Amino acid sequence: MRRAALAKPIPAFEASQSFKETEMTVALITGASSGIGSIYASRLAARGHDLVLVARAADRLNALAEELRSTHGVNIEVITADLTDAAQLGTVEQRLRADPPVDILVNNAGAGVAGGLANSDPAALENLLRLNTLAPTLLAAAAVDGMVKRGGGSIVNIGSVLGLLPEYAPGIYAATKSYMLTLSQSLHTEVGGQGIYVQAVLPAATRTEFYARMGGDISAMPAAMEADDLVDAALSGFDQKELVTIPPIPDVAAWEAFEQARMTMAGGFTNTKPAERYRA
Ligand SMILES: NC(=O)c1ccc[n+]([C@@H]2O[C@H](COP(=O)([O-])OP(=O)(O)OC[C@H]3O[C@@H](n4cnc5c(N)ncnc54)[C@H](OP(=O)(O)O)[C@@H]3O)[C@@H](O)[C@H]2O)c1
């Protein structure tokens, strides 16, 4: 049996050598009307970035925009868009391809859906896939074009630890979130060497409106992180240029061991014969 050379690992926590520090002036944040996205907006405005805020709730976006303009003196655009709607998503894609250029895309908007796959509503499943996977993919594609031409930019994708722990989430939510991790790793491999920084942020339970929107109750969770703490940790990971940021895990060695196991397994992927255990 021919053994493959160990695949080149994709370091998860690395200082990207090729990352080019550019003047990060404009950040576009999806799902900025509440929870994690609204904290990202506050923190990035405090860092001096102009913002493009995207969500459906125009009143909440406008109130946040007004507050951040007056507190931080930054320019803020508001785009009211339902990201499950192709035409409205297209408006946000157009903005990402327009000037002034967007230097940081935070793909944060997302939702869950209660229940499993059996007896599910196909329309609800489709909507969730549009919001949690299709929209961030098309927005990243729209953003990265210009970033590659300019030689710099950052794309932050909000996943979830449930992408690594699907046993705890019935239905398709965990799968949509593991998609965000894989997309980030692929994108990093594709454009990380061209000055583009990609980060996947994997929150665990975080105190936001997320659970209430699904008809759930965050107080029923055994523990939850405050959204401020989550975003501050995510931005620390951003500053350290981590590819994957998992704020609650105490020791990064756990993630590194997980990645090492993946690469050990990858050593067998190019074998041309099935493993011994499958040969009667
Ligand atoms: N909270 C947690 O425990 C947790 C854990 C892991 C990962 N996450 C992830 O974190 C991200 C942010 O969630 P959150 O916890 O901050 O929850 P949240 O408070 O419910 O925020 C969700 C945001 O997404 C926006 N949104 C929802 N549907 C949309 C649509 N169709 N079009 C455009 N925007 C839409 C919402 O704004 P509008 O309603 O105004 O559109 C809101 O701003 C999500 O991707 C979620 O999967 C959360």
* pLDDT per position as a tens digit, 199-258: 999 999 999 999 999 988 888 888 999 999 999 999 999 999 999 999 999 999 999 999
CA 32 to centroid of ligand 1, rounded, Å: 8
* pLDDT per position as a tens digit, 164-181: 999 999 899 999 999 999
Q: What pLDDT, on the 0 to 100 scale, is given for residue 132?
A: 98
* pLDDT per position as a tens digit, 91-119: 999 999 999 999 999 999 999 998 999 99
Residue 144 has pLDDT above 90, yes or no: yes
Q: Is the CB of 108 under 6 A from ligand 1?
A: yes
Q: State the Cα torsion 17-198-260-181 to the nearest 10°.
A: 180
Q: Is the CB of 57 under 6 A from ligand 1?
A: yes
Peptide bond into 9 cis (omega under 30): no
Q: Give the integer Cα–Cα distance in Å for 59 and 278.
A: 60
Out of 56, 201, 218, 221, give the residue to mutate to test ligand 1, the one with the largest number of ligand atoms within 8 Å of its CB. Answer: 56
Q: Which residues are catalytic?
A: 173
Question: H helices within the chain, ranges in order?
Answer: 35-46, 58-72, 86-97, 122-129, 135-150, 173-191, 210-213, 227-239, 252-266
Out of 206, 214, 230, give the residue to mutate to test ligand 1, the one with the largest number of ligand atoms within 8 Å of its CB. Answer: 206
The full set of domains in the chain, from first to last, is: 26-253 (3.40.50.720)
Residue 6 has pLDDT above 60, yes or no: no
CA 110 to centroid of ligand 1, rounded, Å: 4
CA 3 to chain centre: 35
Q: Which atom of ligand 1 is nearest to the CA of 127?
A: 31
- Cβ contacts of residue 25 below 8 Å, gap of 6+? 49, 50, 100, 103
8 Å CB contact between 178 and 163 = yes
Name the phi and psi angles at 79, rounded to 5.
-120, 115
Q: Which atom of ligand 1 is nearest to the CA of 176?
A: 47
Q: Is the CB of 212 under 6 A from ligand 1?
A: no
Span 59-66, average pLDDT: 98
